[in-house]
Amino acid sequence: MADVRDGLRYTRTHEWVRVEGDIAVVGVTDFAQAELGDITYLELPEPGTTVKQGDSMGVIESVKAASDIYAPVSGEVVEANKAVVDTPELANKSPYDDAWLVKIRMSTPDELNQLMDAEEYRKYLAETAATA
Amino acid sequence: MAPKVTPLIEQHRALGARFIEFAGWLMPVQYEGIVAEHLAVRSRAGLFDLGHMGQLAVRGRDALPFLQFVTPNDVGSLKPGRAQYSMLLYPNGGVVDDIMIYLRPDREEYLVVVNAANTDKDFQWLLERRADHPEWVVEVEDISATTGMLAIQGPLAERILQRVTEGDLSTVRPFDAVQTKVAGVPALVARTGYTGEDGFELYFPIEATVRLWDRLLEIGRADGLVPVGLGARDTLRLEACLPLYGNELSPEITPLEAQLGWVVKLHKGAFIGREALERQLQEGVPRKLVGFELVERGGIPRHGYEVQLAGRRIGTVTSGTSSPSLGKAIGLALIESSAAGIGREFDVVIRGKPVRALQVKTPFYRRPRQRIGEGVGS
């Protein structure tokens, strides 16, 4: 069963958000990394990039497939995680901690309300698995 | 239509496999993970469910002239208990399928092993070509539904398989096929495979599939034998530059373009596709299959991606991956012959961006040399 952390917000495209003041720390979920399998390449937005909620802002590739990374909230990218770009397998090993991907200074924090909490995301995963 | 399943579907579920639909079959794409399974085959051994592959039997007095007529390799040179890589070709030289032909040790029939996606197409093709020559005494039968197939591949494959196999496997050379018993099951055991490693492919009555799979996993566990899915099967074959039908081979690609000219034996006489290939040999091939690695970061080159030289399209990526053995992004591309050459560069367009690639020697991976007396190299 995929690990879902309490206290985070989640998108239907399997990104997670940890709120630290006006900063949204963003990564992909344990479910996403397990679905992708061995992750070998990441492309992340440069600091200074403005992103809009729901836009593709990067790419995550495994041996099996390539997948877009979507911005869970709007704002300005203030930091991208170089360590995970250099060592993509971190995204398999530590999706919620070492492999955070970007930090976004939120322009519209209300957007967080449109994301799922852990309980809702667990239910969403169960439904996804049931229809798969 | 619901996908077909092999007799091992419950085994795969119990092993925690992830599945994909491949050529109409529900098959395990990975268990532990593609990279882990890939490296297990390179360093130890892996067990593959190949129940989706097709098997055709060709028998009768004129089986040999018939096979000579429908394939470009020289079946006449195939001795009993040996295997030969070959193809079925269209008259224009394009490829119907790539195949393995075994002459059974008792000479009773030829076993033709074909790609899962092409089993029906190949069978129909052979029946039609059979009808071109009503004077030939030859019978073609699709025996896929009654034939089980597994592969055990990797440097420890012989040691593991020997524990449950009658007879001495060390005397079975690459491309030999012997009729013996494995875990008490009558099986054709061939030293062939699709990974670039030493190893064996097993053909046996399909009812014995579960028993053989369970037994091999059990006796191989101590040596690190693991089940391997189609994901690692693809990365393994690509590192070894073994072609995949639908990628490197197709009705639009000739064996000469795919750098498989060695399969074409013009000295043997008439066969379907011969004239087209002779013409291509005289005129030169317009396209060539080349190996490359990315020399800058930009992602993984994948099937269908465009290849450019100074912004002009010169070809297409046929297969690409992130190589688990080499830690590099590698691929094969079919490009204009004038642009081909080891050491020359081109760009692979990944998500709209040109990424620099260098043409390199193939295969990307070659297994370490065998010890003396361990058989002939292949």
Q: Could you tell me if B302 lies within 8 Å of chain A, comparing CB atoms? A: yes
Q: B148: which 2 tokens? A: 């089980």
B36, pLDDT greater than 70: yes
Cβ-defined contact of A61 to B29 (cutoff 8 Å): no
Cross-chain Cβ contact A66/B302 below 8 Å: yes
What is the Cα–Cα distance from B161 to B165, expressed in whole angstroms? 6
Q: Which residues from B are below 8 Å from A63, CB to CB?
A: 34-35, 231, 235, 300, 321-322, 324
Mean pLDDT of B217-221: 98
Chain A residues lying within 8 Å of B322, measured CB to CB: 38, 40-41, 61, 63
CA distance B233 to B217: 17
pLDDT of residue B355 exceeding 90: yes
pLDDT at residue B373 greater than cutoff 50: no
Interface of B with A in 165-184 (CB under 8 A): none
Q: Which residues pair with B331 in a beta bridge?
A: B292, B320
- Four-point Cα dihedral B341, B342, B344, B345, nearest 10: 110
Q: Could you tell me the two tokens for B95?
A: 């490829």
Q: Are strands B225-227 and B45-49 parallel, antiparallel or unpaired?
A: parallel
For chains A and B, count residue pairs whose Cβ atoms are closer than 8 Å. 41
Helix (H, G, I), strand (E, B) or coil at A116: strand
Domains (range + CATH), chain B: 9-52+145-239 (3.30.1360.120), 55-121 (3.30.70.1400), 261-360 (2.40.30.110)
pLDDT of B323 above 60: yes
The reported pLDDT for the residue numbered B371 is 52
- Residue B293 marked in a binding site: no
User: Do B322 and A37 make contact, defined as CB atoms within 8 angstroms?
Assistant: no
What is the identity of the amino acid at B276? A
Confidence at residue A128, expressed as pLDDT on a 0 to 100 scale:
82
Domains and CATH numbers, chain A: 9-109+116-125 (2.40.50.100)
Section A71-99 average pLDDT: 97
pTM for this entry: 0.94
Confidence check: pLDDT of B281 > 50:
yes
Average pLDDT over every residue of B133-146:
97
The verdict on a CB contact (< 8 Å) between A37 and B231 is yes
User: How far is it, in rounded angstroms, from Cα B306 to Cα B329?
Assistant: 16
Q: Quote the mean pLDDT of chain B.
A: 96
- When scoring A35, A39, A40 by the number of chain B Cβ atoms within 10 A, the one with the most, hence best to mutate, is A40
Instruction: Compare CB distances from A40 to B30, B231, B300 and report the shortest one's residue.
Output: B300
Distance CA A2, CA A21 (A): 27
Are B126 and B55 in contact by the 8 Å Cβ rule? The answer is: no
Residue B276 to residue B186: CA distance in whole angstroms: 42
pLDDT for residue B193 is more than 60: yes
Residue B1: its pLDDT value, please? 78
Residue B329 has pLDDT above 70, yes or no: yes
Residue A40 near chain B (CB below 8 Å) = yes
Bridge partners (DSSP) of residue B306 are B316
Distances (CA, A) of A111 to A55, A101, B112, B198: 13, 19, 60, 56
ipTM for the assembly: 0.86
